[in-house]
């Protein structure tokens, strides 16, 4: 049987534990804010700090974007990750194409660009590693060409992030980065991405996939 004093102490403890529970599920939840395709990777790696150079190739359909692509690749090459990609004139493990019409996303929105993953045949990166990728920019008038130069560079860097193995954020991560005002390159423009450069959390993701 509770005496009034014990009851008061119990209520106080109950209150404290509820506060701790709320705190634990919101304010203390933290990054790093990156997501992967079930931790699958490019079997060729992502380079080796400039020592083991991998190559990307700009398809003739995309030479218009050559300078933008160079800036996007260099932004990744400059990070504290093993990533190092150089341009090749004939072939590469990342091939960049411009295509006429990528079908709209399931929600009906226009796709700006997409990355396709190949392990001889095209694969779902959530269920398999891959050897090379293709980045397709959507030449629909509401697609990639409609972006500002800075957003073209950011979208290209975002697609390179997919090529390396970074996925979009989970819905929980998304609501947290929104509430905290955190930017990562793996946000989509429609999700509020304003940066055009890989961020710390993106690099943490890469370093976890390619230790
Ligand atoms: Zn994306």
Q: How confident is the model at residue 3 (pLDDT cuts 50, 70, 90)?
A: low
Q: Which of 74, 68, 81 is nearest to 156 (CA)?
A: 68
DSSP reduced 3-state for 58: strand
Instruction: Report the separation in Å between the CA atom of 2 and the middle of ligand 1, taken as the mean of its atom positions.
Output: 58
Length of the chain: 211
Range of the domain at 56: 35-206
Percent of the chain residues topping a pLDDT of 70: 86
Q: Please give the model's pTM, rounded to 2 decimal places.
A: 0.86
The answer to the question of residue 5 being in a domain is no
The answer to the question of residue 197 being in a domain is yes
- CATH assignment of the domain containing 91: 3.40.390.10
The answer to the question of residue 9 being in a domain is no
User: pLDDT digits over 78-103, tens only?
Assistant: 999 999 999 999 999 999 999 998 98
Instruction: Report the separation in Å between the CA atom of 20 and the middle of ligand 1, taken as the mean of its atom positions.
Output: 36
What does the pLDDT read at residue 2? 54
The answer to the question of residue 2 being in a domain is no
Instruction: Report the separation in Å between the CA atom of 115 and the middle of ligand 1, taken as the mean of its atom positions.
Output: 8
The answer to the question of residue 71 being in a domain is yes
The answer to the question of residue 6 being in a domain is no
The answer to the question of residue 184 being in a domain is yes
Number of structural domains in the chain = 1
Q: How far apart are CA 170 and CA 77, in angstroms?
A: 26
The answer to the question of residue 202 being in a domain is yes
């Amino acid at each position: 049987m509770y005496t009034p004093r014990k009851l008061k102490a119990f209520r106080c403890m109950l209150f404290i534990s509820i506060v701790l529970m709320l705190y634990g599920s919101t304010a203390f939840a933290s990054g790093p804010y990156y997501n992967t395709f079930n931790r699958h990777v490019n079997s060729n790696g992502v380079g080796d700090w400039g020592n083991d150079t991998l190559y990307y190739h700009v398809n003739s359909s995309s030479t218009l974007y050559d300078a933008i692509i160079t800036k996007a690749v260099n932004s990744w090459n400059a990070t504290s990750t093993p990533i190092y990609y150089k341009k090749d004139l004939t072939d590469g493990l990342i091939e960049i194409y411009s295509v006429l019409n990528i079908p709209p996303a399931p929600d009906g929105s226009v796709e700006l660009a997409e990355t396709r993953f190949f392990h001889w045949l095209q694969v779902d990166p959530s269920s398999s590693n891959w050897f090379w990728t293709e980045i397709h920019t959507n030449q629909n008038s509401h697609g990639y060409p409609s972006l500002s130069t800075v957003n073209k560079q950011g979208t290209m860097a975002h697609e390179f992030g997919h090529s390396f193995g970074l996925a979009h954020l989970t819905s929980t991560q998304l609501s947290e980065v929104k509430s905290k005002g955190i930017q990562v390159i793996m946000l989509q423009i429609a999700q509020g991405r304003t940066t055009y450069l890989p961020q710390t959390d993106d690099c943490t993701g890469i370093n976890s996939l390619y230790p």
